Structure 1
């Protein structure tokens, strides 16, 4: 039965990483589910308050990184709220519209379209804002990847050390 438990936990962790390809998936929720599944399947005994405070802090950082990277990526390059919203919409639908590259095209195109619709400004400025959105998205995704990995590593550290 231990093998079944580890397989299920591994599947949840992999689904957490799949959210980097399909951002509409709640990746962090899969990782949290994997942590709790370990506790329910095996034992919560190795984990104390320090462990759970660390994990909760990392979850908060993930949400902050996700929002801040897109926001500052667009704002730094002169984008408006419309560009931020367009980028977020593009991030969600891009991977489904263009499966291979939509993950990168979506935030870029969404920011450009959002900026052009609202401000009807120069096209080159909208492209610049789209680049900022894409860079912010990539930075946020990288931060989330690292933080989710730290969460999983902490599980193993608490179990085996």
Structure 2
């Protein structure tokens, strides 16, 4: 049973890390879920309140940072609220509409359309679209770092225990 537990934990970690790049995957929640799988299949004993508090805080920071960093990229390049919303929609549907490149093109097109709807000229809209891609890359880096921190903390916690 312990081997099955570890296999599931590793699979959830892999899904979580892939979720840093592909927003349709659960990301941090898959990693967080791996801790529960470990607890149910192996043991909850190593985890105290401090472990759960730190991991929960990281998940909260991840959710806030994901939106904030992406929005920062749009806003830094002069984007409006409409372009932030457009970029977010583009992140979610882009990969489905344009397989392979939709993750990059979706937020760009969404931000450009949002900015044009807000009344900006095409040059400004393209600038904001570029900012959305910068925000996406920055957000992805932040997610990868924080999710790796979650996994490393889990492993270190088990080694110390």
SS in 2 for 1:99: coil
On the 8 A contact 1:22/1:92 being kept in 2, the answer is no
TM-score normalised to the size of structure 1? 0.94
Partner of 1:22: 22
- SS of the equivalent of 2:118 reads helix
Query: Contact between 1:108 and 1:130, CA under 8 Å: does it hold in 2?
Result: yes
Match of 2:54 in 1: 54
Q: How much is the aligned-residue C-alpha RMSD, in angstroms? A: 1.2
Match of residue 99 from structure 1: 99
1:146 is matched with 145
CA distance in 2, matches of 1:62, 1:21: 13
CA distance, structure 2, for counterparts of residue 5 and residue 56 of structure 1: 21
Give the structure 1 partner of residue 71 of structure 2.
71
Distance across 1 between alignment mates of 2:69 and 2:127: 16
What is the alpha-carbon distance in structure 2 between the residues aligned to residue 20 and residue 147 of structure 1?
10
Gaps of 5+ in 2: none
Give 5+ residue unaligned stretches, structure 1: none
- Cross-structure match for 1:114: 114
Whether contact under 8 Å (2:23, 2:91) holds in the other structure is: yes
